[in-house]
Amino acid sequence: MRVLYLIRHARPVSPEGAQSDFDRPLSPVGRIEAEKIAAVLSAEQLTHPFVLSSPAARARETAEIVVATNHWSANFESRIYEAAPQTLLDVIGRIDSANEVVLLFGHNPGVEKLLRYFTGEIRAMPTAGVAKLELALDAWRDCADASARLEWLISP
């Protein structure tokens, strides 16, 4: 059994005035949302999850707040930014099987589409949305052929 938390970054600043979409940081509200995500994940009492995030500013900042609160570490993967579900599956499929719990910080529409791919359900993933999925897998490399059970979906 593997557990995957799909997390959409918290609310960024408005696109107006930002240097680029990639560089848009969290807004003040987004920082509060990221702290709420951190609290939700703290309540899960996870020990040493594998944290993987897009390096885009808003996703990176969301992940950094969560890992700092929980004393974890994060890994950043450029392919997550603007990724289609197939790319996300490839990224997940390369995670070492020793990691049973993965937190993936990403963007829409990829995160929403990946949730649909695994569950068959059409669900909205608003900013700061977190979905907990259980996958009956022995290794992440088999994730492309897996279905998942949606345990819960929240938006702090």
User: What does the pLDDT read at residue 113?
Assistant: 97
Q: Would you give the DSSP letter of residue 48?
A: S
| pLDDT per position as a tens digit, 5-26 | 999 999 999 887 667 999 999 9
- Structural domain of residue 97, as residue ranges? 2-154
Longest dimension (CA), the chain: 46
Domain count, the chain: 1
Please report, for the domain that includes residue 106, its CATH number. 3.40.50.1240
Residues 66 and 63: their CA atoms lie apart, in Å, by 5
87-146 pLDDT, tens digit each? 999 999 999 999 999 999 999 999 999 999 999 999 999 999 999 999 999 999 999 998
Report the DSSP pairing between strands 148-154 and 130-135.
antiparallel
pTM above 0.75, yes or no: yes
- Coil, strand, or helix at residue 111? helix
